[in-house]
Structure 1
């Protein structure tokens, strides 16, 4: 086995491997296979986006005999020395051969070369093998997050949000800087590049909630790739319920850190969202906790 920097030419080989690896694991633990990469085409599309991003890079493992890709992992530069890892996958036919350890070690080395203060990832809790690997490589479990999917029934919601209090509308380009400033107020660092990139790729998925002409909450998408920030639980609920109202019957997903926001767990369950799986946010180095009272809902990378 050899490892090297990933190249866009790897997509055709890596797409089927990524789709198969996630599907086989999900089926083995009772998670719907559609949760991650339902088709090879979806897997290839996501990999293409990663390669097109100037803030992402990857490591590909090659079978020494055939020279074919057998796994990969990707690193994303979020901002201010903060980096995230994902997706990470290995061809099931080459499991238990040290492939995952090799690509993760190479990726961590690359991140350390940039003086990263924090490297984070989101690990599926049911995958005890990957948890063990990441822990051995120095990742610490930070938060357990619950992954919900579905469309919320507003009649069942815990909070009644008055429409006149919050205005919810699609994010505009002029909102990006304000969203990054809100992220800084909650986490202590900006995220403008990441927000802008998600807005450019998925403009219909990014939304904001405003009260008294002041930004209260935003999301880059209620999907496994999007993250959300709000100044309070009520502001986040207003954002989510507002989007549900404007996109009825549209399935959405969110990661809720259960320890920090038990009220949001109750709100999601009462609103009709379904728990799909539990995950761990894990990190090497610093990991800033959100400002007390504020809301942080991570994406699939942390």
Structure 2
């Protein structure tokens, strides 16, 4: 069987001719075929097709040595063929960014041109990129970038849009106006804003997020670039603990944070909606919006949950921010003696919740839902993070009674320490913000 046309080869074993009829059909085109013996066929000197016929027990004593010799020859041919094929594939492997009309990455590739090395070097931040602090003129561009980045990621993971009402311009305006919050932007060599990251430096723990990179610049290590950018400000403040919320459906961001030293603390459910309208208010509690006069009581309630940690500045800033906002959701509930037993610095994911008990927590959610529904019947509702592992007893009430819905799952992660952790068998309730 030797030639350059399609063929059917019938291979017979002389040892088993009286007992077996062996048939092997091999199709090849424009290839050289070499038959080593009745046991093997080599096509293109790359693939060995062993005919499934065992040697009889009375085979000659030289069978093992002959087989080993043939196998060595086959292995050598396969290695040569695979290397040849790999070299040919590498020659035809173009730069996908060049093919898409994008500028190739800058920098020297070095002497290591293995596929793995090429992939690693191709994801380094391009030369000419830099980070700087966001200025007021950047706000709308940064907000648009953030929405586009999250919308693209959520579309890939079948999640609803992160910002259904448009770019989060208000968030970045508020962050820019607060001297204890810094937003860093990444600039391309042409001066375009292609990434951003925000860090809160208000209290004992630095809170990071949202982190966003324009979809056109994904997989180029710009996420790490903007993470390093905000860490400069964290280090300047001397903060030793940094926390963030990572969207569980995004394994790439989880891998990025893990490589940077962040460890998972707990899993959160991002919850949205309004408590079912027929559920009555919890008796014995009064509900009201928070004011600056409530800051000491809120700070004391937080400190009782996390001894040794302060969140005074954030509580002050959030209440001041939402006090004049007609759509603000900074609320508190008091017991019959007028003592504050639960509060939220905003039921919009940027605020956190602390309650002295499960009952006070439910009283806060029911009253807040009624307040929001009365103000805007078309509202999508309040939003908060629930630590599902810590409060499994609340899940039945959340979904079967209150009829909330889960938007997404997140992982609360921390780097450094000390990390504020809930005590075991905690009777109080804590819902972290979008940062911690």
Q: RCO greater where, 1 or 2, for CA within 8 Å and sep 6 or more?
A: 1
By how many angstroms is 1:47 displaced? 1.2
2:424 corresponds to 1:289: no
Match of 1:241 among 346, 362, 366: 366
Output the CA distance in 1 between the equivalents of 2:140 and 2:227. Answer: 21
3-state DSSP of counterpart to 2:297: helix
Runs of 4+ that moved beyond 6 A: none
Corresponding position of 1:46: 171
Output the CA distance in 1 between the equivalents of 2:352 and 2:268. Answer: 13
Give unmatched runs, 5+ long, in structure 1.
Answer: none
Match of 1:72 among 163, 186, 196: 196
By how many angstroms is 1:155 displaced? 4.3
2:255 corresponds to 1:144: no
Corresponding position of 1:113: 236
Q: How does 1:166-245 map to 2 (within 5 A)?
A: 166-188=285-307, 189-203=309-323, 204-211=328-335, 212-245=337-370
Change (3 A) 1:256 1:289: same
CA RMSD of aligned residues (A): 1.7
Aligned length: 293
- Kept after mapping to 2: 8 A contact 1:23/1:37: no
Corresponding position of 1:262: 392
By how many angstroms is 1:117 displaced? 2.4
Output the CA distance in 1 between the equivalents of 2:212 and 2:195. Answer: 6
Match of 1:13 among 141, 164, 167: 141
**1:233-273: CA deviations, max 9, x gaps?**
11111111122233335411111000001122222112110
- Kept after mapping to 2: 8 A contact 1:105/1:137: no
Change (3 A) 1:285 1:155: same
Corresponding position of 2:163: 36
Corresponding position of 1:23: 151
Output the CA distance in 2 between the equivalents of 1:44 and 1:277. Answer: 22
Output the CA distance in 2 between the equivalents of 1:181 and 1:253. Answer: 24
3-state DSSP of counterpart to 2:237: coil
By how many angstroms is 1:37 displaced? 5.6
3-state DSSP of counterpart to 1:93: helix
2:251 corresponds to 1:132: no
3-state DSSP of counterpart to 1:168: strand
Give unmatched runs, 5+ long, in structure 2.
Answer: 1-128
3-state DSSP of counterpart to 1:247: helix
- Higher mean Cα deviation, 252-261 or 147-156? 147-156
Change (3 A) 1:162 1:8: closer
3-state DSSP of counterpart to 1:71: strand
Corresponding position of 1:278: 409
Corresponding position of 1:96: 219
By how many angstroms is 1:38 displaced? 3.6
Structure 1 length-normalised TM: 0.92
Output the CA distance in 2 between the equivalents of 1:56 and 1:37. Answer: 24
- Kept after mapping to 1: 8 A contact 2:291/2:320: no
- Kept after mapping to 1: 8 A contact 2:281/2:367: no
Corresponding position of 2:432: 298
Corresponding position of 2:382: 252
- Kept after mapping to 2: 8 A contact 1:23/1:38: no
3-state DSSP of counterpart to 2:201: strand
- Higher mean Cα deviation, 107-116 or 264-273? 107-116
Q: Which has the larger radius of gyration?
A: 2
